[in-house]
Amino acid sequence: MKRFLDIVLLLVCVLALAVFFAQVEIQIEGNAGWGADLPTWRWEDHWVLDLFWGGRAMTGYHAWVFPFMFIIFHFGFVLTQRWSRWLEARALASLMLFWATEDFLWFVLNPAFGLARFDAVHVPWHKHWWLGAPVDYWVFGSLACVLLWYSFFRMPRETAAAPVETPP
């Protein structure tokens, strides 16, 4: 039961972060998704973007916000001075779920879009769609499930129950 509650708590926290960050991005970007109207540099139409970025443009905004969120999701390791491959898997899974959820919520919560305009016609910066959603959502969602399973069900019980040492 504790493991189930731990998973639910993690997912609720990731969802809360995604809701708040989606609202921040809605305030920043308005109706111009993927930083289209932001006063920053844009790098478009390059094979590297196709390979690593799903064909989307790389902007100065995204070049800073993606590593920022990576650091946020790993900051607990610095605070607790505790790391393991299971916790790393959990952090990466949480980050993947965060980005997919936050991106979806950007459309749902954005008055300029809404769920009705969540499709390949109205969202040209997501170039690859499958079953009504960007392929990124399916890839990140699947990888996140595998990583969460590993982090919660493959971690030795003694590691999960180990007390965190208090500083002297």
pLDDT at 61: 86
154, 153, 123: which is closest to 2 by C-alpha? 153
Residue 122: per-residue pLDDT: 77
Instruction: Kindly tell me if the per-residue pLDDT of 157 is higher than 70.
Output: no
Give the model's confidence band at 166: pLDDT under 50 very low, under 70 low, under 90 confident, else very high: low
Phi first, then psi: what are they for 129, rounded to 5°? -120, 150
pLDDT of residue 143: 95
Which element (helix H / strand E) includes 120? none
Average pLDDT, the chain: 85
What are the distances in angstroms from CA 143 to CA 20, 90, 140, 152? 23, 11, 5, 14
Q: What is the pLDDT of residues 54-112, one digit of tens each?
A: 777 788 888 899 999 999 999 999 999 999 999 999 999 999 999 999 989 998 999 98
pLDDT at 69: 96
State the Cα–Cα distance between residues 124 and 99, nearest whole angstrom: 18
pTM score = 0.83
pLDDT at position 165:
55
The better pLDDT of the pair 48, 162 is held by 48
Question: Given a cut of 60, is residue 50 above it in pLDDT?
Answer: yes
Q: What was the pLDDT predicted at 119?
A: 84
Average pLDDT over residues 6-27: 95
Residues 6+ apart with CB under 8 A from 55: 49, 127, 128
